[in-house]
Amino acid sequence: MAGRRDYLTTEAFFMEIAKLAAQRSKDPVTQVGACIVKDNKHVVGIGYNHMPNDSDEFSWENTEGNKHDNKHIYVIHAEKCAILNKTADINGCTIYVTLFPCNECAKDVIEAGIKEVVYLSDKYAKKQSTIQAKKMFDKVGVFYREYGLKQEPAVKEESGTKKRKLGRVTQVGTVFFYNKYLKIYRY
Ligand SMILES: [Zn+2]
């Protein structure tokens, strides 16, 4: 008897964990979750945006009038939370995030040795913090891609064929994306 065909894919499983973690957030505006995965198999860190110690003593307000007492001063972002909660060495890991990391979390991701970011939403793509995060990822070689881009092993070299150049190349107008390790294509 054949097994089920409509089972949750590995990638969907990890992103669903990130989405579930986001539901723990008390932020009335933006709930973010993160899930760190080792070897495409093991969950080694989960996080969501929250106040220190998940305390209710801090304000979630974010208005012009309270610049010195607003949520940005206190909140711990999901990525940092997941990194702090790591249960194993996360060097070389992938982090699944429901929202593209800000510049501060990008620094944490880089310093933790995480090599890939898979994101669900990039709704703040035009914000400086997101632009700076991508700039840092690009410069140090952290690969990022939108959730839903399927991943396959690197292209195998066949004898007699022209060696394919691998690098951080996005072929505009086609469905293929390459980095050093992965062949990525859209569904
Ligand atoms: Zn952040």
What is each CA distance from 7 to 4, 13, 30, 108, 153, in whole angstroms?
6, 10, 29, 33, 21
More confident residue, 5 or 22: 22
CA of 103 to the centre of ligand 1 (A): 6
pLDDT at 118: 98
Residue 75 has pLDDT above 70, yes or no: yes
- C-alpha to C-alpha distance for 132 and 103, rounded to whole angstroms: 6
pLDDT at 32: 98
> Closest Cα to residue 105, out of 122, 121, 83?
83
Q: Of 35-39, 62-66, 68-72, 139-143, give the lowest mean pLDDT range.
A: 62-66
CA of 101 to the centre of ligand 1 (A): 5
Q: What pTM was estimated for this model as a whole?
A: 0.79
pLDDT at 150: 60
| pLDDT grade for 140, boundaries at 50, 70 and 90 | very high
Q: Scan for tokens 């951080």, then name that residue.
A: 168
CA of 105 to the centre of ligand 1 (A): 4
Start-end of H helices in the chain: 10-22, 71-74, 78-84, 103-111, 128-140
Residues with CB under 5 A from ligand 1 (ion): 77, 102, 105
Q: Scan for tokens 């933006």, then name that residue.
A: 30
Classify residue 80 as exposed, middle or buried by CB count within 10 Å of its CB (0-12, 13-18, 19+): buried
Cβ atoms 132, 164 nearer than 8 A = no
CA of 35 to the centre of ligand 1 (A): 14
CA of 76 to the centre of ligand 1 (A): 8
Print burial letters for 38-57: b (CB count within 10 Å at least 16), e (below 16).
beeeebbbbbbbbbeeeeee
Catalytic residues: 79
- C-alpha to C-alpha distance for 32 and 24, rounded to whole angstroms: 9
